[in-house]
């Protein structure tokens, strides 16, 4: 009889999985909007998008506060500083969580989320855009990039 040892996931892996679930749920809602099937509250939909960025940015906390890891706060801060997508993530996270922002924004603008309808070859598609003076990016692209960067960091710095 083979016995498989189950290794519990590390807290940062749990957080990364949570972020991926938020992204998947937002994309399902976007598809519902695209098909005209979304009957939910628009404010809750925006809250979900902000929640994605809060959870995504705070993968940093899960890595930084895991005493079994040798990753330093300096290494984490440099990683975020060197990855523009995570700086956007930081600005959205901080801007959402705090009434008064004591930390400087890293992207140089005020980020806002817009829901726009764009016409493409397939038909109307709902695009969630993040816009500021320096950023104009679709939610799915930015979310994918943030997740990819965290996965790369975990693979090279943590594992």
User: Quick one: pLDDT band at residue 93, thresholds 50, 70, 90?
Assistant: confident
pLDDT of 155 > 50? The answer is: yes
Q: Quick check: pTM over 0.75?
A: yes
**Cα–Cα distances in angstroms (integers) from residue 11 to residues 19, 21, 61, 128, 130, in the given order:** 12, 15, 10, 29, 29
Check residues 61 and 135 and name the one with the higher pLDDT.
61
CA 20-92-146 angle, 5° bins: 35
Q: Do 49 and 16 form a contact (C-beta atoms < 8 A)?
A: no
Q: Do 115 and 126 form a contact (C-beta atoms < 8 A)?
A: yes
Q: Do 65 and 59 form a contact (C-beta atoms < 8 A)?
A: no
Cα of first residue to Cα of last residue in the chain, in angstroms, is: 31
Query: What local confidence, expressed as pLDDT, does residue 71 receive?
Result: 93
Pick the range with the lowest mean pLDDT from 48-52, 57-61, 79-83, 137-141: 137-141
pLDDT of 25 > 70? The answer is: yes
What lies within 8 Å, CB to CB, of 82 at 6+ separation is none
State the Cα–Cα distance between residues 122 and 119, nearest whole angstrom.
Answer: 8
pLDDT of 151 > 90? The answer is: yes
Q: Coil, strand, or helix at residue 9?
A: coil
- Can you tell me which residue has the tokens 């994605």? 52
Per-residue pLDDT tens over the stretch 105-133: 555 555 555 555 444 445 555 555 665 55
Strands (E), 38-121: 112-120
Where do the structural domains in the chain lie, given as residue ranges?
11-104+138-158
143-154 mean pLDDT? 96
Residue 22 corresponds to which tokens in the numbers above? Answer: 């938020």
139-157 mean pLDDT? 93
Query: What percentage of the chain exceeds 70 in pLDDT?
Result: 70
Check residues 25 and 37 and name the one with the higher pLDDT.
25
Query: What local confidence, expressed as pLDDT, does residue 76 receive?
Result: 94
Query: What local confidence, expressed as pLDDT, does residue 87 receive?
Result: 87
């Amino acid at each position: 009889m083979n016995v498989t040892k189950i290794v519990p996931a590390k807290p940062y892996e749990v957080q990364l999985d949570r972020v991926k679930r938020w992204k998947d749920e937002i994309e399902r809602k976007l598809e519902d909007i695209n098909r005209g099937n979304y009957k939910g509250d628009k404010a809750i939909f925006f809250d979900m998008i902000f929640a994605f960025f809060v959870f995504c940015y705070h993968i940093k906390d899960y890595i930084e506060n895991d005493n079994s890891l040798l990753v330093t706060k300096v290494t984490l801060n440099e990683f975020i500083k060197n990855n523009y997508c995570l700086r956007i993530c930081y600005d959205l996270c901080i801007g959402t969580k705090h009434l008064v922002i004591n930390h400087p924004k890293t992207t140089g603008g005020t980020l806002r989320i817009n829901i726009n309808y764009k016409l493409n070859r397939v038909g109307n598609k709902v695009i969630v855009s993040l816009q500021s003076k320096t950023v104009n990016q679709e939610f799915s692209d930015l979310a994918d990039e943030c997740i990819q960067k965290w996965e790369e960091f975990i693979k090279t710095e943590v594992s």
